[in-house]
Structure 1
Amino acid sequence: MKTVFSGLVAAAFTFTMAIGAMPAQAEDLAAIKDAGEMKIAMTGQYPPFNFVNDQNEVVGFDAAIGKEIATRIGVEPVIVTTAWDGIIAGLLASKYDTIVGSMTITPDREKVVDFVGPYYHAGRGVFVKEESPVQSLDELKGKTLGVTLGETHEKWAREQGGWDIRTYKGLPELFLELNAGRVDAIVVDNIPVAVAVKETGEKIRQLDTPDIEGGSVAIGIAIRKENPELKAAMQKALDEMMQDGTYEKIAMEWIGRDIR
């Protein structure tokens, strides 16, 4: 459920306004087909959605979805890894063609990019060590929270106030910091944490926060604006994947359940 922090969105919006005065560009779908490849951005630090395996390959749910969409459009997929806090700026600068990186669809982001999807739904979770005495958000006041830099979880935590905040690059670092006791809780997407707990036996638990903001959000695939043909082609590929069983197969492999 990753989203760019408000300041970055503002910067991206400024960038978009600046390039708006430039001559119109060709539709991105034609350029992608001419190149014979689609460059797909993600961080590579968000298991099980996207991460680097032992063979130094970027794999995971996002990677598989992005590759399948490219293949169905008729081009080769090329995975590009980049830092999350600059990922939209990179898209607007044409460093890649799309972002398939677990990005939340938000009104601020829709001002600067278009979305294909949503391709899954997720929610915000607050997690503590299994033996922690903390049982509620109120009990975290005055303590230290770990978040990923640039996600909406960081924005949410800062808006709530009442605790210290430390930022990290991704989920692996957050787990390390929580287990080492350098943070008292982490605020992250609930799906990847649930998978990690199941697969690695992480000794953490989720606090009961039924009314927390961001409890259920739509995750989309970002592309540059003014690309109706590319958007339609990618949406068609995604819809067909969901209809013919390919999506469910990918979801079961990486997540263990259908998350659409």
Structure 2
Amino acid sequence: MSIFRMSAAALLAAGLFFGTAAARADDLATIKEAGKLSVALSGAFPPFSFVDESNQVVGFDVDIGSEIARRLGVQPEIVTTAWDGIIAGLVTGRYDTIVGSMGITDERKKAVAFVGPYYHSGIGLFVQKGGAYESLDSLEGKTVGVILGEVAEKWVRDQNRFEVRTYKGLPEMILDLSAGRVDAFVTDDVPVLVAIRKNDAPIAQIKDERLPKFEIGIAIRKDNPELAAAMQKALDDMMADGTYEAISMKWIGADIR
């Protein structure tokens, strides 16, 4: 909703910044004292986070982050920010956590710690339904859309076989596929499959074993064992008592844990 974003240089810089920070109290104490948990996400990744007709940020990730905050005994504060700088914002203290459909990768673990995973996903390849492309190999040399900073972007560039066009969010990428401005796009599969089902969109998914799968986690700053334990317990309790399933069915139409 993967998803999966940020350059290696930026991640390393963020990790080095945080690694040199002075010793401090666990973030859980600060969050409790402030009475709020600030939750960062892109706001441009439906159905996980998006702006509705009432100009409110809503979605699966919004509900998950808000419920975790309430179970910590504090109020949720939703923060929208550009995905390609979201880890740097966490490391430098702009917010407390990222509940934004972020894939857990070794590269990201250099800069942040993860709670979860809270769902599983994979990179999906999508084309116009009934179009000329029926396989990954048939797209050789064609224009492929990706969301800036996602793991999908890195994967597509590493193939060194496509023309790459970057986007800030999924809606614009879907529109450009429909308009023929890109031949395909690659991103987290779950939100696209939801969009296809809800809108009867003329989009087809191409299956390929070379497309990677991911665990999706909640990012916090490193060296916060109390916060990590409290958030993990909140997540586990949500999964045990049916709250997680209700949120998942509301936004996704399936239990994606």
| TM-score with structure 2 setting the length | 0.97
Tell me the amino acid that sits aligned with residue 3 of structure 2.
K
Instruction: Return the offset for 1:5.
Output: 3.4
Query: Which position in structure 2 is the counterpart of 1:234?
Result: 231
Instruction: Return the offset for 1:21.
Output: 3.0
Query: Which position in structure 1 is the counterpart of 2:221?
Result: 224
Query: Which position in structure 2 is the counterpart of 1:128?
Result: 127
Is 1:196 the equivalent of 2:195?
Answer: yes
Tell me the amino acid that sits aligned with residue 23 of structure 2.
A
The counterpart of 2:210, out of the listed 209, 212, 224, is: 212
Tell me how far apart the structure 2 counterparts of residues 218 and 15 of structure 1 sit (CA, whole Å): 22
Structure 1 stretch displaced more, 20-29 or 74-83: 20-29
Tell me how far apart the structure 1 counterparts of residues 19 and 254 of structure 2 sit (CA, whole Å): 42
Tell me the amino acid that sits aligned with residue 212 of structure 1.
R
Cα distance per residue 1:123-176 (max 9 Å; x no partner): 111110112121111110111000000001110111111210000011101111
Instruction: Return the offset for 1:19.
Output: 4.0
Tell me the amino acid that sits aligned with residue 232 of structure 1.
A
Unaligned stretches of 5+ in structure 1? none
Structure 1 runs (4+) greater than 4 angstroms displaced: none
Query: Which position in structure 2 is the counterpart of 1:165?
Result: 164
Query: Which position in structure 2 is the counterpart of 1:51?
Result: 50
Is 1:104 the equivalent of 2:103?
Answer: yes
Tell me the amino acid that sits aligned with residue 213 of structure 1.
L
Cα distance per residue 1:67-91 (max 9 Å; x no partner): 0000000000000000000000000
Is the 2:14–2:87 Cα contact (8 Å) retained in structure 1?
no
Tell me the amino acid that sits aligned with residue 142 of structure 1.
G
Is the 1:124–1:212 Cα contact (8 Å) retained in structure 2?
no
Instruction: Return the offset for 1:189.
Output: 1.2
Instruction: Return the offset for 1:241.
Output: 0.2
Query: Which position in structure 2 is the counterpart of 1:249?
Result: 246
Tell me how far apart the structure 2 counterparts of residues 200 and 173 of structure 1 sit (CA, whole Å): 15
Cα distance per residue 1:184-231 (max 9 Å; x no partner): 00101111111101111111100121x1231x2100000000100000
Tell me how far apart the structure 2 counterparts of residues 148 and 21 of structure 1 sit (CA, whole Å): 31
Number of aligned pairs? 256
% of aligned pairs identical?
57
Unaligned stretches of 5+ in structure 2? none
Matches within 5 A, 1:2-151: 2-7=3-8, 10-151=9-150
Is the 1:5–1:155 Cα contact (8 Å) retained in structure 2?
no
Tell me how far apart the structure 2 counterparts of residues 135 and 12 of structure 1 sit (CA, whole Å): 35
